[in-house]
Amino acid sequence: MKFIPIYKHSVFIVSTGRTGTKFIGKVLPSMIDDCYSTHEPAGVFVTDRNKWKKDIKKYGFLRMTIGQLTPKYSMYKLSSDRRAGRVSDDKALKYIEQMRKLVLKDIIPELYVESNNHLHGVVDLLEKVFPNSKVVFVIRDPRTWIRSVMSTKASLLYGKIDFPFLNISMKATDFKDDPYAEKWKNMSKFEKLCWYYNKLNSFVLEKMSDKPNFKVYRYEDILIYQDREKYFKDFLDFITNFEDGFSKNYEFKPQLLNRKVNSSSKNYVIPHWRDWKNKEAVIMEKHCSKLMKKFNYGQESEWSEKVEKGYKFEIA
Per-residue pLDDT, 166: 84
Please count the other Cβ atoms lying within 10 Å of the Cβ belonging to residue 234.
14
> Taking the chain, what is the end-to-end CA distance rounded to the nearest angstrom?
39
Q: Is 85 left (phi over 0), alpha (psi -120 to 50) or beta?
A: left
Cα separation, 30 vs 7, whole angstroms = 24
pLDDT (tens place) for every residue of the chain, 316 residues total:
799 999 999 999 999 999 998 999 999 999 999 999 999 999 876 667 888 888 999 899 999 999 999 999 999 999 999 999 999 999 999 999 999 999 999 999 999 999 999 999 999 999 999 999 999 999 999 999 999 999 987 788 998 888 888 888 999 999 989 999 999 999 999 999 999 999 999 999 999 999 999 999 999 999 999 999 999 999 999 999 999 999 999 999 999 998 754 454 567 999 999 999 999 999 999 999 999 999 999 999 999 999 998 865 444 4
Sign of the CA dihedral 23, 26, 28, 30?
Answer: negative
Q: Which of 243, 48, 239 is nearest to 138 (CA)?
A: 239
Cα separation, 132 vs 135, whole angstroms = 10
Per-residue pLDDT, 263: 52
The sheet carrying 9-15 orders its strands as: 35-39, 111-115, 9-15, 133-139, 214-218
Q: 137-175: b or e for each residue (b if 16 or more CB lie within 10 Å)?
A: bbbbbbbbbbbbbbbbebbbbbeeeeeeeebbbbbbbbe
Per-residue pLDDT, 76: 94
Cα separation, 183 vs 171, whole angstroms = 11
> What is the signed CA dihedral for 197, 264, 188, 157, rounded to 10 degrees?
-60
> 129 in helix, strand or coil?
helix
Q: Which of 209, 107, 188, 114 is nearest to 146 (CA)?
A: 188
Q: Say which residues have a Cβ less than 8 Å from residue 216's Cβ, sequence separation at least 6.
A: 136, 137, 138, 139, 205
Per-residue pLDDT, 17: 94
Per-residue pLDDT, 167: 87
Per-residue pLDDT, 314: 42
**DSSP label at residue 315:** -
Per-residue pLDDT, 163: 86
Q: 139, 220 in Cβ contact below 8 A?
A: no
Rounded to two decimals, what is the model's pTM? 0.94
- Residue 50 main-chain phi, psi, to 5 deg: -65, -45
Per-residue pLDDT, 316: 42
Per-residue pLDDT, 260: 56
Domains in the chain: ranges and CATH: 10-160+200-259 (3.40.50), 271-315 (no CATH)
Q: Is 43 left (phi over 0), alpha (psi -120 to 50) or beta?
A: beta
Helices (H) and strands (E) in the chain, counts: 12, 5
